């Protein structure tokens, strides 16, 4: 993409009420725009990052056998009455349909949709197990929407639901999902900072698990066991008597963190109210056993920003960077254009700063702000040596490389 065609611009300003680092950096670099607290637009650059994160999650969910679909936002009140969550869930957005007598919720999650949905297709044990997921817009009337895109009132979530004959079968699948989650967080570049964290399991299992990433921007505290490389959350700290559930170690380290995902054994919590049952081999009717597994996409993107930055701005991990290469032309657009075309033809994602009315300093500052992994500069000086200047965003080292070796160098 040519920067001259990008309709957004970088800016030094951000809304005064925007106190969170992730949103400040993303607004300054032109990745997102703030419409109101907790509600953001994904601008073209930001949407590229978002889609890379989405694709990584999708690949990992597909590898688990998850079947992708898309469930609606508008959900009938009756379904929420059945589970008792119409009155229980404080963040539920409630709306009136125009025939007034009927109310609906804007979906904050989808157990109330997916349970009656799969009921239409499950008869016998032969129909189990399976899992479905979607990547879909959630609505939550959050009271604290001060963490930038970490806590939106409207945000995309990947929610996976699995359906099983037995607790044992759920247990096995749950462990597979846990590994897939670790893959996701590694692949987006926050594996080292992310801890599998024991949390309350509700009625149906002793624990659930959150995936918590260390950052001061987080709203949670976790307690890390360095021996096992796991953590427990604050909610269960006292129940656990301040001990690691895996090794009993009581030297736990307190850290601030943000929950980027969670996995939960639901048991029959939702299958019971919706009478989601199957017939087992002996002909007996039994409740389907369920699990649910969520990841917030903007929260994950904001967390990457909180973890991967320096005093200048964002340093995108290559896997989620909007472009791999940021190519700058210093008054040498013809030559730079040829390099740009060659790179694009070789399948390299390049952001080409071809702007003619912007000075060198501003172009360099923008490259830092936008944060692509590799910066290439074409100038009269470099061209004399048939070279371009090469610099990685995460390093201070600047060196020249030959034009015909660019591809080899960056691949």
Is residue 191 helix, strand or coil? coil
Alpha-carbon gap, residue 363 to 332, rounded angstroms: 14
Backbone angles phi, psi at 280, to 5 degrees: -85, 180
Nearest-approach distance from CB 1 to ligand ATP, in angstroms: 27
Rank residues 54 and 259 by Cβ distance to ligand ATP and give the closer one.
259
Q: Measured from the CB of residue 208, what is the shortest distance to ligand ATP in angstroms?
A: 9
Pick 154 or 335: Cβ nearer ligand ATP? 154
Nearer to ligand ATP, 295 or 339 (CB): 295
CA atoms within 13 A on the CB side of 201: 14
Q: 10 or 136: whose CB is closer to ligand ATP?
A: 136
Q: To the nearest whole angstrom, how small is the minimum distance from the Cβ of residue 250 to ligand ATP?
A: 26
Return d(Cα 299, Cα 274) in angstroms, integer: 31
The least distance separating ligand ATP from the CB of residue 28, rounded to whole angstroms, comes to 21
CA quadruple 203, 119, 282, 169: dihedral positive or negative? negative
Nearer to ligand ATP, 267 or 296 (CB): 296
Q: Which residue is nearest to ligand ATP (CB)?
A: 296
Q: Between 53 and 370, whose beta carbon lies closer to ligand ATP?
A: 53
Interaction site with ligand ATP (CB under 6 A): 109, 140, 142, 151-152, 155, 157, 259-262, 294-296, 298-299
Query: How many CB atoms within 10 Å of residue 177?
Result: 22
The tally of CA atoms less than 13 A away on the side-chain side of residue 269 is 18
What secondary structure does DSSP assign to 36-55, as a single string? Answer: ETTEEEE-HHHHHHHHHHHH
Query: Strand 289-296 to strand 154-164: parallel, antiparallel, or no bridges (unpaired)?
Result: antiparallel
User: CB neighbours of 105 closer than 8 A, spacing ≥ 6?
Assistant: 74, 75, 76, 77, 80, 86, 92, 93, 94, 95, 112
- Strand segments, DSSP code E, in 180-248 are 194-200, 207-214, 220-225, 230-233
Q: CB within 8 A of 375, min separation 6: which ones?
A: 325, 326, 328, 367, 389, 390, 391, 392, 393
- In angstroms, what is the minimal distance from the CB of 368 to ligand ATP? 27
Q: Please identify, using beta-carbon distances, which residue of 143 and 331 lies nearer to ligand ATP.
A: 143
Question: Smallest distance, Å, CB 143 to ligand ATP?
Answer: 10
- Tell me whether residue 221 or residue 400 sits nearer to ligand ATP (CB atom): 221
Cβ of residue 294: shortest distance to ligand ATP, in angstroms?
3
Least distance to ligand ATP, CB of residue 236, Å: 14
């Amino acid at each position: 993409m040519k920067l001259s065609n990008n309709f957004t611009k970088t800016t030094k300003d951000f809304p005064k009420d925007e106190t969170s680092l992730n949103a400040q950096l993303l607004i300054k670099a032109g990745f997102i725009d703030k419409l109101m607290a907790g509600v953001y637009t994904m601008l073209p650059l930001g949407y590229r990052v978002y889609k890379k994160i989405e694709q990584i999650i999708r690949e990992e969910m597909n590898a688990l056998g998850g079947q992708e679909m898309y469930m609606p936002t508008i959900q009938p009140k009756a379904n929420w009455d059945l589970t008792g969550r119409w009155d229980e869930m404080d963040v539920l957005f409630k709306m009136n349909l125009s025939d007034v007598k009927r109310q609906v919720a804007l979906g904050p999650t989808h157990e109330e949709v997916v349970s009656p949905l799969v009921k239409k297709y499950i008869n016998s044990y032969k129909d189990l197990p399976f899992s479905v997921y979607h990547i879909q817009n959630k609505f939550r009337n959050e009271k604290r929407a001060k963490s930038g895109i970490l806590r939106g009132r409207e945000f995309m979530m990947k929610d996976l639901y699995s359906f099983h004959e037995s607790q044992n079968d759920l247990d096995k699948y749950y462990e597979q999902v846990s590994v897939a989650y670790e893959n996701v967080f590694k692949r987006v570049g926050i594996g080292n900072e992310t801890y599998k964290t024991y949390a309350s399991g509700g009625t149906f299992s002793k624990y659930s698990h959150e995936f918590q990433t260390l950052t001061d921007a987080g709203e949670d505290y976790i307690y890390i066991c360095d021996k096992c490389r796991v953590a427990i959350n604050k909610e269960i700290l006292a129940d656990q008597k301040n001990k690691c559930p895996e090794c009993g170690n009581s030297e736990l380290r307190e850290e601030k963190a943000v929950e980027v995902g969670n996995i939960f054994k639901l048991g029959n919590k939702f299958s019971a109210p919706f009478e989601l049952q199957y017939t087992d081999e002996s002909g007996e009717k039994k409740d389907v056993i369920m699990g649910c597994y969520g990841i917030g996409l903007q929260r994950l993107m904001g967390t990457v920003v909180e973890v991967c930055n320096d005093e200048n701005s964002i340093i995108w991990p290559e896997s989620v960077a909007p472009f791999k290469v940021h190519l700058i032309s210093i008054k040498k657009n013809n030559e730079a254009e040829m390099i740009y075309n060659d790179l694009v033809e070789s399948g390299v994602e390049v952001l080409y700063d071809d702007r003619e009315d912007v000075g060198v300093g501003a172009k360099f500052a923008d490259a830092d702000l936008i944060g692509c992994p590799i910066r290439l500069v074409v100038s009269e000086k470099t061209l004399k040596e048939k070279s371009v200047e090469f610099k990685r965003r995460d390093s201070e080292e600047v060196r020249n490389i030959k034009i015909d070796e660019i591809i080899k160098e960056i691949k």
